[in-house]
Amino acid sequence: MNDRRFAESYAGFRLENQGLGKSRVLRDLRQRNVSSGLAEGAVGRVYKNVDEVELIDSFIRRKFRPKTPLPEALQDPKQLASAYRRLIRAGFSSSNVIQALKRISKGELLEGFEPPEETEEV
């Protein structure tokens, strides 16, 4: 299989089956020795019509199972920080993660939240 087909099928699998964000898939492809340009092109094609906010909402519904309802759980600063880190690790942009968490948690704890600087992992 050539690298282009591998990159596209890998990105498609990670999107459809795991609901991961673009940056996570890019990082994983680079770890599998796919060139940056090829990986970015494949991920760009696969994620072309994907709404990241909807993808985050879907990820949250599938992966977050707190003992208390999620809006209540996110009132705890530790739970909120944990949810933020988990979504960032899943490859979503910080601005969309904050938007989704504000919507779920009613935004009170996130009003003054300043996300850490995003760094590109190679």
- Return the sign of the alpha-carbon dihedral for residues 86, 92, 52, 45: negative
Residue-wise burial string across 21-40, b where 16 or more C-beta atoms lie within 10 A, e elsewhere: bbbbbbbbbbeeebeeebbb
Cβ-contact 19, 59 below 8 angstroms: yes
Give the residue-averaged pLDDT of 44-69: 88
How much is the pLDDT for 27? 95
pLDDT, tens digit (0-9, with 9 covering 90-100), for 70-116: 888 888 888 888 899 999 999 999 999 988 888 887 755 566 666 65
How much is the pLDDT for 1? 61
In terms of Cβ atoms closer than 10 Å to its own Cβ (0-12, 13-18, 19+), residue 100 is: buried
- With a cut of 60, say whether residue 43 has pLDDT above it: yes
- With a cut of 50, say whether residue 122 has pLDDT above it: no
How much is the pLDDT for 117? 58
Give the pair of three-digit tokens for residue 79.
Answer: 């739970």
Give the residue-averaged pLDDT of 37-45: 94
